[in-house]
Amino acid sequence: MTTKQQLISESPYKPVLAKITEYVRETHDSFTIKLDWKIHHQPGQFVFCSLPGIGEAPISICSHSDEYIELNIREVGNVTKKLGQLKVGDELLVRGPYGRAYPMRDFEGNNIIIIGGGCGVAPLKGSIEFIEQYRNKFRDVSLFFGFRTPDDTLFRKRMDVWKEKFNMHVSFDKVAEPSKACYDGSQGFVTQKVNELVGDNTNTVVFICGPPIMIEKTSEILLNKGFKEEQIFVSAERLMYCGMGKCGRCMIHGRYTCLDGAVFRYDELKDYKDD
């Protein structure tokens, strides 16, 4: 009996090469890269970025185009810190896209409210770009963004454009005195603005992404205002390794963040946010 050697040439774990075509430093600990990777994706999906020898990290896509992919990355771990040291022209390994997207097509004809906090603005940017591309399919679109300080603002150039197109409100938790950065927004938590300005819930859906506490408080306010749980879409993220429901690491009360998320309808997760 002989030993057979089998070459595994097709594997879902195998990444492909992508080149960085643009690099923008957003804040002291985050940056945005544009990759020449042409892959069809939907708002809210994510990809895995890896550097051989360093490791792999899931990153949400923050653009909507079949020609390229943009990723906004915050430098927190080994992989993301190393990614931050790359420059235009450098290559990295990517695989994906994974995850359930925002069901944008289902919301056509609706008002959309998008609420983002800190680096949670990044995954929402894809859906905003989608709305920009199909602007006439959606009715009123409001954006609420919260950042810690004006220096932490992401996508400054895009913000200037969005300000013209949508009802945009930016708030900062703290504004240093005197502020160095030129900013356009108010002081306070994003929840305050939401509380003040969001009213009617008819034909409206809400996307929320940000730190867990911000998601919780914002949803609470919206529910008090009469929004239904089915109208609210939140993001939840966990540690993940495979992106295809095999590694079991991202499970939240039986739901895989990689297959059933990272976008969840509020009622799917409400009781198990901490699990």
Judged by the rule CB under 8 A, the positions of this chain that interact with another protein are: 1-15, 17, 52-57, 76-80, 82, 91-93, 237-239, 241-242, 244-249, 251, 253-254, 259, 274-275
3-class SS at 255? Answer: strand
Q: Residue 60 or 127: which CB sits closer to another protein?
A: 60
Q: Residue 15 or 43: which CB sits closer to another protein?
A: 15
Burial status of residue 118 (CB atoms within 10 A of its CB: 0-12, 13-18, 19 or more)? buried
CB of 128 to another protein, least distance (A): 26
The CB-side HSE value for 182 (13 A sphere, CA atoms) comes to 3
**Crossing angle for the helix pair 212-224 and 190-197, nearest 10 degrees?**
10
CB of 56 to another protein, least distance (A): 6
d(CA 213, CA 234) in angstroms, rounded, equals 12
Q: Residue 112 or 154: which CB sits closer to another protein?
A: 154
CB of 93 to another protein, least distance (A): 6
Does a cis peptide bond (omega within 30 degrees of 0) precede residue 52?
A: no
CB of 256 to another protein, least distance (A): 9
Q: Residue 73 or 141: which CB sits closer to another protein?
A: 73
Where residue 80 falls (left for φ over 0; alpha for ψ -120 to 50; beta otherwise) is alpha
CB of 123 to another protein, least distance (A): 16
d(CA 74, CA 207) in angstroms, rounded, equals 21
Structure tokens at 75: 């430098």
Q: Residue 228 or 249: which CB sits closer to another protein?
A: 249
